[in-house]
Amino acid sequence: MCAWALSGMTLRRIRDWEEFRELARRLKPKIIFYCIEDNPLGRPPIALRLLFVHDRDTYVFNDFAHGDRLRKSGYPVEILPSGAWISKATLKRISKELGDVELADFSMTTIL
């Protein structure tokens, strides 16, 4: 059995933006982590992952680009010649909508 299951922690995947937003506002986490990820099947190939921990539960929301917007939340995706990106201004808007919570980048880079 994995350590995650033994610890009593629950991973809660939230599929609806409104539900995630309301949970963040109600549970008031001090920090929400975000990661801007590659999504090879997307057009453009970018995704946003948001997560926070409350008590012993982890809440995760994934949103994928569809054209110049994120599919579920509707936030804009910047289309640049070098690729797609989610701007710092958009991240600030997301922070305010989630209850003016701190957003922290948890992107990880693996060096092989």
* pLDDT tens, residue by residue, 54-83: 999 999 999 999 999 999 999 999 998 888
Q: How far apart are CA 19 and CA 6, in angstroms?
A: 27
Specify the pTM.
0.85
**pLDDT bucket at 112, cuts 50 / 70 / 90:** very low
Residue 43: burial class (beta carbons within 10 Å; 0-12, 13-18, 19+): exposed
Of 95, 101, 103, 40, nearest to 73 (Cα)?
A: 95
Q: pLDDT tier at 23 (50, 70, 90 boundaries)? A: very high
**Mean model confidence pLDDT for the chain:** 89
Two tokens, residue 46? 């970018």
| Domain range annotation of the chain | 7-102
Angle made by CA atoms 27, 30, 32, in degrees to the nearest 5: 85
Using omega within 30 degrees of 0 as the cis cutoff, is the peptide bond preceding 29 cis? no
**Is residue 106 over pLDDT 80?**
yes
Determine the pLDDT at residue 80. Answer: 85
CATH architecture of structural domain 7-102: 2-Layer Sandwich (3.30)
